[in-house]
Amino acid sequence: MLITILLSIMMMAGLFLLLWGGVGFIQDKRFMSSAPKEALAVVPDRLPERFKGQYALGYVMVTVAFALMGGAVVLGAWHGIVNDYTFLQFFIRFMIMLLALKAYDVIFFDWVLLCNQGFGFFTHYYPQVRDVYNRSLFGYNKKDHIIHVIFFFPACALLSWICTLI
């Protein structure tokens, strides 16, 4: 269980790095597709580089983020294979990891950073959204979150089945 929690934290770190790289450094509207439509209406398509290599640094951060999140899944699978996990053990591990990541997304990203402008994260990079992001936006993407959670079940089942075959 401890390894599953550590892998979940690894995925959360990757997700934060993904957000920071996309919002803070790449600063391209195409990477903000999940933002509220009110925010998309006020942000520019692309902000100019604040320093040389800013965009490149952002892409490196995004690449590392994907490596962290993918690595957590691979490590979780490898650890389970080495320890002869059953289908159910794999399934529970992957569900915990994905549900923890979704909870982190909803609580930290949506509630703290977006709706309460926690740490001034979004407004630091996009001052235009200061009047847009507020508590009334919480839940603007609940349909997407529900779809993701529903998708977790077959995805974890498939991944667990593949791991039991190895």
Mean pLDDT, residues 109-113 taken together? 85
pTM of the full structure: 0.88
Average pLDDT value over all residues in the chain: 90
Distance CA 106, CA 11 (A): 14
Q: Crossing angle, helix 54-82 and helix 87-104, to 10 degrees?
A: 150
Q: Let me know the angle formed at the C-alpha of 19 by 148 and 149, rounded to the nearest 5 degrees.
A: 10
pLDDT range class, residue 29, cuts 50, 70, 90: confident
pLDDT range class, residue 118, cuts 50, 70, 90: low
Q: Structural domain tally of the chain? A: 1
Q: Is the pLDDT of residue 34 over 80?
A: no
Distance CA 118, CA 139 (A): 17
List Cα–Cα distances, 9 to 12, 13, 58, 71, 129, in angstroms: 5, 6, 21, 12, 29
Domain interval for residue 119? 2-165
109, 55 Cβ separation under 8 angstroms: no
Distance CA 141, CA 163 (A): 32
pLDDT tens-digit series, residues 83-92: 999 999 999 9
| Confidence (pLDDT) at 126 | 81
